[in-house]
Amino acid sequence: MRSLPILIVLIAGTAFAQPAPQRIPPPDSDDYCHSLIARVAAAPVNGNADVVRDLASEGETLCANGQSRRGIAKLRRALRIALIHHG
């Protein structure tokens, strides 16, 4: 049973070596608004670029004016349209 302590050390070592999970901002926060704004800006848009741009702009304005939930809804819609029409 000499290998049992080594096995425990190996298992414990892999548990501590795991990367920390990425922090996801709460879905009604300013951080989440900013993360969506960045995602929309980075999304490839082929069709409906005007619609995506307008929705993103409205969403960004709503978020900036403290209406995070409404802004997030607009930003999610913009991202969904950008991604659906791209692929």
| Digitized pLDDT (tens) for each residue of the chain, 87 residues in all | 455 455 444 454 444 555 555 566 666 678 899 999 999 999 987 778 999 999 999 999 999 999 999 999 999 999 999 988 665
The three-state secondary structure class of 47 is: coil
- Domain assignments of the chain as residue spans, ordered by start: 25-86
Helix (H) or strand (E) holding 87: none
Q: Distances in Å between the alpha carbon of 41 and those of 1, 11, 52, 82?
A: 58, 42, 10, 10
| Residues 45, 86 contacting (CB under 8 angstroms) | yes
**pTM of the predicted protein model:** 0.67
**pLDDT in the model for residue 18:** 54
